[in-house]
Amino acid sequence: MNLITNPDKSQWAELLKRPVMNTENLFDTVRAIIDRVKTEGDRAVLEYEEKFDKVALTALAVTEAEQAEAEASVGEELKKAIRLAKRNIETFHAAQRFESKRVETQPGVTCWQKAVAIEKVGLYIPGGTAPLFSTVLMLAVPARIAGCKEIVLCTPPGKDGKVHPAVLFAAKVAGINRIFKVGGVQAIAAMAYGTESVPKVYKIFGPGNQYVTAAKQLVSLRDVAIDMPAGPSEVEVLADETANPSFVAADLLSQAEHGADSQAILVTTSLALQQAVKEEVERQLALLPRKEIAEKSLANSKLIVVRNMDEAIELTNSYAPEHLIIETADYMSVAERVVNAGSVFLGSLTPESAGDYASGTNHTLPTNGYAKAYSGVSLDSFIRKITFQEIKPEGIRIIGPAIEEMAASEHLDAHKNAVTVRLDKLGVEN
C-alpha cells in the first residue's frame, strides 16, 4: 500500500484519484450489442450468452423446477442468514414510506404529492468471481415494498447453464420469480427494449463491470432510467490513535477483495496507526483465498496521515467515499461533520460488511465521488412523486392576477388567457 504523510492540500486532488474506468472507449462495442438485441431479441441474446458466458441455452427464463432445485441445494445456515438479512432490509426500507401532506398555499389553493411505484423495474445481478445474492435482497426487497407491479431479474448463468442457487433462493425470499439467465450488455439491452422472453422495464438497477456500466449509460440517454452512475467499489477508513489496527486492516481488505480496481483508503491522524495497519494488512492478506485480487486492489490504495481531525474530515468530504468507516474516540461528533459519503459505519464494531449484508441499510451506493450529488438506493429509488393541486373560486381570485401578470411579462398570452377566462366567468374585473 502507498504510505503518505501530511500531504499538502495542493496534492489532494491527485492523491484522491480513483482507478480510471473510461467507459466511453467501450461505447461503440457496447452499442453494437445493444442494437442487435433491440432488433433481433432472444436470438441475439442467446448468441451473446454463448459468446460471452460460454453457455449454449435453449431458453432464457429460469423454470420453477430450477428454482426448487436451487432451494434444496442451499444449506440451512445460509438460508437462515439470508432470511435474517431480508427481514432487516425490509424493516429499514419500510420505514422510508412517504407520507403525503396537503398544503394550503393560499386560501382556496391546495397542493400535495402522491408517491407512486415505478410499474416495471429490472434488476441486474452480476456473475463473475462471486455470486452477489446479497444484491438480490438489496434491490428486490425495496422494489416489493414500493409496490412495483413487474420486477424482472437478469443474471448470467454458469457454464452449466444454471444460476447460482443462493441467487435463486434470495430471489424467492424477496418474492421475485421472473428471473432470466442473461448477463452483461445483452441483459441491460434486453431489459431496456424487451425481447420475446424478457419484458421491457422503465428503470434498471444493479452493479456490473465496465461493459454493463457503459450499457446502462447508453440506454439511459433516451430509453430507460437507471439507478445511478457507477464505478469500482471503494472504502475509506477515518481513524485516530484509538482505532484497532487489526479491525482497520480487515476493513481495508474486505473492500480490496471486491475486485482489482477497487480502492481502499485510510485517513488517520496517527503515524503509529499507519505503520501498524500496514503490517496488519500484510499479515491478513497472506491468509486470504482471494489474495491475488486484493493485492492488485491494494496498488490503488493509500494509507494517509494528516495533521489533525479537521484536515481528516475535509479530506474525507473531498473524496466522498462510497463507504466510510469512522473508527475514532468521538465518532458521533466526527460523523456530524461528514457531508459527502454513500454509507457511514460508526465505531469499532461496525464493519462495512454489516451494511453489505445484514444491518438493513442498502449496499447499492454511489461510487467515484458521485456521493457528492447522489444517494444510494432506497425506497425512493423505486417510486415517483406526482404533484396535485386544486384551486377553488377563492383561490383563483387571489392568485389569478399574479399569474396573469407573470404570463404577460413572459409574452405567453395563452397562459394569461387560461386564467382570464376563468376570472371572467367568476365575474372578477381586471
Residues belonging to the active site: 322-323
Q: Are 305 and 269 in contact (CB under 8 A)?
A: yes
**β-bridge partners, 114:** 386
Give me the residue label for grid cell 438485441: 37
CA nearest neighbour of 302 among 96, 92, 11: 11
Q: What angle do CA 163, 169, 173 make, to 5 degrees?
A: 140
Distance CA 354, CA 343 (A): 11
Q: Is 389 annotated as a binding residue?
A: no
Q: What 8-state DSSP symbol labels residue 63?
A: P
Backbone φ and ψ of 225, nearest 5°: -85, 160
Specify the amino acid at residue 396: I
Q: Is 370 annotated as a binding residue?
A: no
Q: What 8-state DSSP symbol labels residue 287?
A: T
Q: What 8-state DSSP symbol labels residue 11?
A: G
Q: Is 410 annotated as a binding residue?
A: yes
Q: How many CB atoms lie within 10 A of CB 251?
A: 27
Q: Is 209 annotated as a binding residue?
A: yes
Strands 234-239, 383-391: pairing is: unpaired
Q: Is 217 annotated as a binding residue?
A: no
397-405 CB contacts, 8 Å cutoff, 24+ apart:
397/108, 397/423, 397/426, 397/428, 398/106, 398/107, 398/108, 398/109, 399/106, 399/109, 400/428, 401/430, 404/430
Q: Is 164 annotated as a binding residue?
A: no
Q: Are 144 and 136 in contact (CB under 8 A)?
A: no
Four-point Cα dihedral 186, 169, 343, 301, nearest 10: -70
**β-bridge partners, 154:** 124, 180
Which residue positions form the known binding site for NAD(+)?
124, 186, 209
| Annotated binding-site residue numbers for substrate | 233, 255, 258, 323, 356, 410, 415
Query: What residue numbers does the annotated binding site cover?
Result: 124, 186, 209, 233, 255, 258, 323, 356, 410, 415
Query: What are the binding residues for Zn(2+)?
Result: 255, 258, 356, 415
